[in-house]
Amino acid sequence: MALQALQSSGVAFRKILSHFPEELSLAFAYGSGVYRQAGPSSDQKNAMLDFVFTVDDPVAWHSKNLKKNWNHYSFLKVLGPRFITTVQNNYGAGVYYNPLIMCDGRLIKYGIISTSVLIEDLLNWNNLYIAGRLQKPVKIVAMNENVTLRSALDKNLKSAVTAAFLMLPESFSEEDLFIEIARLSYSGDFRMVVGEDKAKVLNIVKPNIAHFRELYGSILQENPQVVYKIQQGSLEIDKSPEGQFTQLMTLPKTLQQQINHIMDPPGKNRDVEETLLQVAHDPDCGDVVRLGLSAIVRPSSMRQSTKGIFTAGLKKSVMYSSLKLHKMWKGWLRKTS
């Protein structure tokens, strides 16, 4: 399975994990502190480590974590674990972040997400937030035997390939594909305008082609709609209306609904399948898919960033935003020099 490529033997990551309650269905590390990136995030040794912890019972987990790590939380901690869980599940993208935490001599940020919320996002792309993180190479530090979760993780990768195919020409390189996949969860993300380095996607992909290949290689080899020439690093796909319709019909449900909303004229109320058949014959099919992605990502990224002001607290929010803007400024200087 493609996910085996993500397994990590990193002792340092597991040591950090030991500072938190153990009841995790999944824990992974991601970002420039884990995988080398080009550009302003290239200083891997001093980069902040980003983690996501997936938990079956967020109320119980936050209750234990508040006892162990009270100072990690903002002023919301005084309202207790149930309130924190309500904020986590019902606002933004279903994840609760504690940023700028010193742990084992490293600066870390960690997010908590409910297992059920993550599975929904992986399968349907409700927010394409943590699901988007998991479309890029990450280091899985802990994972239990939840078969439904493992299946959803695999489905998310296959959906990423399908969506990318719809936005690519008939022939393209591995690098083209991986750039398109990495770009999926940034489509419409307002942070790419303010606070993130504009070349972020290229900086993620170019130094990590081998990791992307590990993640997606078996999926590409098993896909009947693609000719994958591994030695040359090139691919060919079926761009006929029939081929595109097959791909559109396997997209996650929320993306299909967004495409239907974009293409369905007022008052017509066509069903999704009818709309997707029309899109499959449209020469601008890829642009329509991209618009559908933006319609998911833009609101979820804005809500999650607004939520961060409360979950991190004002002081940490300002510090974290300053770090992001500084990185963006360094990237701009690099380009102009």
Q: Which residue has the tokens 């607004």?
A: 306
Judge contact between 312 and 98, C-beta under 8 A.
yes
* Pair 123, 153: CB distance under 8 Å: no
Name residues whose C-beta falls within 8 Å of residue 15's C-beta, 6 or more positions apart in sequence: 104
**58/91 Cα distance (integer angstroms):** 15
Q: What is the pLDDT of residues 68-80, one digit of tens each?
A: 999 999 889 999 9
Q: Nearest 5°: CA angle at 78, between 76 and 80?
A: 85
pLDDT digits (tens, 9 = 90+) for 152-207: 999 999 999 999 999 999 999 999 999 999 999 998 665 555 444 557 899 999 99
- CA–CA separation, 166 and 161 (whole Å): 9
Mean pLDDT of successive 10-residue stretches along the chain, which has 337 residues: 51 92 95 78 71 98 98 93 95 91 92 97 96 96 94 98 98 97 83 57 92 96 94 95 97 97 80 95 96 92 73 55 47 48
Please tell me the distance from the alpha carbon of residue 285 to that of residue 88, in angstroms, as a whole number: 35
Q: How far apart are the first and last CA of the chain?
A: 44
The tokens describing 265, both together, are 């004229």
Stated pTM of the model? 0.86
Closest to 213 in 3D by CA, of 44, 6, 13, 51: 6
CA 282 to chain centre: 28
Which residues make Cβ contacts (< 8 Å) with residue 103, sequence separation at least 6? 16, 19
